[in-house]
Amino acid sequence: MPLTTILVEDSRTIRDNLIPALEELAGVHVVASAETAEGALDALALHGSWQLAIVDLFLKEGSGLTVIRACQGRSRNQHLIVLTNYPSAEMRRRCLALGADAVFDKSTELDAFFERCLGYQTR
């Protein structure tokens, strides 16, 4: 059964390429996407039974850190992964401290990102 997924990404090009790749390579079903922190919070609330949230840090408005913080009380079967172009050591630390399950670099860690997403299928 595909994971119900929310994608928080402000780049249309990345969304247009990432959504089909996620569905094919990671067995997820993207039910909503958002370009802003507020849009992400709305999508997460609307799809309360989401299983995976994929969050970029720099959005059109607001920050992915706001989204991560808002998901701190999520259930154990809800996973949150950060996929960013800015995975500095400090940013990774901040994301993990706020409750992200993992942080991946869009440029160099896509294979590991897809593996992690696929791994949630077997849990």
- Cα 17 to Cα 5, 12, 22, 42, 52: the distances in Å are 15, 9, 9, 23, 18
| CATH at 77 | 3.40.50.2300
Contact of 75 with 53, CB cutoff 8 Å: no
pTM, to two decimals: 0.96
Phi, psi of 54 (to 5 degrees): -115, 120
Handedness of CA 18, 19, 20, 21 (dihedral sign): positive
What tens-digit pLDDT sequence spans the chain (123 residues)? 899 999 999 999 999 999 999 999 998 999 999 999 999 999 999 999 999 999 999 999 999 999 999 999 999 999 999 999 999 999 999 999 999 999 999 999 999 999 999 999 865
> Residue 46: which domain range?
3-121
Number of domains in the chain: 1
